[in-house]
Amino acid sequence: MKVVKTVQEFRDQRKNLSNPLGFVPTMGFLHEGHLSLVRAAHRECRSVAVSIFVNPTQFGPNEDFEAYPRDMDADLEKLEGEQVDIVLTPDKDDLYPAGFQTWVEVESLTQPLEGIVRPGHFRGVTTVVAKFFNIVQPDRAYFGQKDAQQAAVLRRMAADLNFPLEVITCPTLREPDGLAMSSRNTYLNPEQRKAAAVLYRSLNEARLAFEKGEKNANSLRQLVKNIIAGEPLARLDYVSCADLVTLQELDKIERQALLSMAVFIGKTRLIDNVILG
């Protein structure tokens, strides 16, 4: 496994990577969710590249950029175990040199949900991913369904800007109690960790109700709210039942819908979602 620290070193190596090349962009502190993306890339591609970069431009001024967990040695060991071909670990001055001033923005898809509470977040995500697409030049790029809006935004960006690659979304990996795997789970103390299972439990209850015939979006949102309200350590940020493609809120579910939420457990903000239909 090659580990390169600069964009230029990656470019120098690119011609030695067999095509199709699969790419998994990450912010490190890797868990089984990330590794499942690497495995999907291996199944569908002849070589696999991973980036590890905690991207400052997607964090708001009051968010957890400094606190975001990092463990490069453990990450590289895990990726070595997955037989990744090359890992790019750039520093921020390489990606954002003095004078940097270009941004990629997706408009309507970035407005609702995470876009409301995290202004500028998606602009940071789309910009850094566009940069990585141009550096890595992959044939397929892999993202997790846990960040459902991010996946929708990046698929839109890739199509709109004609990137010559496929954006692939892989299922959310979960802990035994249903909690979606996330690097931010490490912020939780044992009591909070236990309480955090309420996110998926509430989504799952709503899904069961949907499957039994409940198509009223507001009833499903209310069902989720009630379950979250029953967990003293949890505070709901939002629950949404939106069209899976446009992310616009629904009254009645007639096509595939995204039931998604953000919940604070203490100071830790967790997100999760399920697809209905």
Query: CB-wise, 198 or 247, nearer to its own copies?
Result: 247
Site string for its own copies, 133-152 (x = CB under 8 A): -xx-x---------------
Of positions 126, 185, 240, 273, contacts its own copies by CB under 8 A:
126
Q: Within 157-186, which residues bind its own copies (CB under 8 A)?
A: 157, 160-164
* β-sheet bridge partners, residue 23: 49, 141
Q: Which stretch binds its own copies (CB under 8 A): 105-113, 141-149, 213-221, 226-234?
A: 105-113
> Could you tell me the two tokens for 172?
């959310």
Cβ proximity to its own copies, 58 vs 127, nearer residue: 127
Omega before 20 within 30 of 0, i.e. cis: yes
The piece of 38-46, 131-139, 215-223, 261-269 that touches its own copies (CB under 8 A) is 131-139
Residues in the chain: 277
Angstrom distance (rounded) from CA 201 to CA 228: 9
Regarding 100 and contact with its own copies (CB under 8 A), the answer is yes
Residues 126, 106: Cα–Cα separation, whole Å: 8
Counting residues that bind its own copies (by CB under 8 A) gives 27
**Residue 34 known to be catalytic:** yes
**Of the candidates 101, 176, 212, 232, which one interacts with its own copies according to CB under 8 A?**
101
Asked if residue 268 lies in contact with residue 199, where contact means CB atoms within 8 angstroms, the answer is no
Q: Does 271 bind its own copies (CB under 8 A)?
A: no
Distance CA 172, CA 186 (A): 17
CA distances from 143 to 36, 121, 123, 148, 169 (A): 10, 16, 17, 9, 5
For the CA atoms of 260, 266, 267, 268, the dihedral, rounded to the nearest 10 degrees, stands at -40
Stretch that binds its own copies, among 30-38, 72-80, 96-104, 173-181 (CB under 8 A): 96-104
Q: Are 260 and 149 in contact (CB under 8 A)?
A: yes
What's the alpha-carbon Rg for the chain, to the nearest Å? 19
Kindly name the residue from 31, 34, 42, 121 that is annotated as catalytic.
34
67 binds its own copies (CB under 8 A): no
Does the footprint of its own copies cover residue 98 (CB under 8 A)? no
Q: Catalytic residue positions?
A: 34
Residues near its own copies, by CB under 8 A? 7, 11, 99-109, 126-127, 130-131, 134-135, 137, 156-157, 160-164
